[in-house]
Chain A
Amino acid sequence: SYVLTQPPSVSVAPGQTATITCAAKNIGSESVQWYQQRPGQAPVMVVHDDMYRSSGIPERFSGSNSGDTATLTITRVEAGDEADYFCQVWDFNGGHLGVFGGGTKLTVL
């Protein structure tokens, strides 16, 4: 089955750019979603289909996907962006399975 690898943590100063990666062989051929999860809350989808922001998500959030790596980029990081971020794909080859990455804790210094 598909395995999505994310760095456990990313730290960035306010106002800087955070880059969170999601790695898997040939992930560029899949549609990738990104979810933000704040402590004690359910995940919220921030990006779908590689690059499209969900309604109400700031333009500071963007996604890309090519080759073996999908990337969530957050520009002008704010304290409120501190959360866990998860990537997700749908594994058709594995029999219609929803697969999540292990998550990345974004810390705003």
Chain B
Amino acid sequence: QLQLSGPGLVEPSQTLSLTCAISGDSVLSTSAAWNWIRQSPSRGLEWLGRTYYRSRWFNDSATSVKGRITVTPDISKNQFSLELKSVSPDDTAVYYCARGTMAFNYWGQGTLITVAS
């Protein structure tokens, strides 16, 4: 299971921070990757980035958010987090965390993040 948490409202130009707690699996799994995906009417489903462990940590991110996104694992809490900097109203969306390497087989429940002042 993936349990997502974070604030529902973020002010423009601030940093959006979300956490996804993992149960029944490990963030250290060498057969999984841990992803952030968002969904909005204007952008549809949009993969944002991921982190995964294969003897060392790797990260990938979408070109649309590269430079603004950080995905970080937390081994002690068995979770991973998303930070998206300098947000604008265009970043308003339902955000999901998901498990999977090239296919997303488990998803968190999703949380609506609104960027507004």
Contacts and interface: CB of A to CB of B under 8 A. Distances in A.
B45 A95 contact: no
A94 interface: yes
Size category of the A interface is: 20 to 34
Contact of B102 (A31, A42, A95): A31
B104 A99 contact: no
Contact of B104 (A43, A97, A101): A43
Nearest to B60: A96
A54 interface: yes
B63 A94 contact: yes
B46 A42 contact: no
Interface of B: 35, 37, 44-47, 50, 60, 62-63, 96, 102-105, 107-110
Interface of A: 1, 31, 33, 35, 42-45, 48-49, 54, 86, 88, 90, 94-103
7 contacts: A1-B63, A43-B96, A45-B104, A98-B35, A98-B37, A98-B102, A103-B45
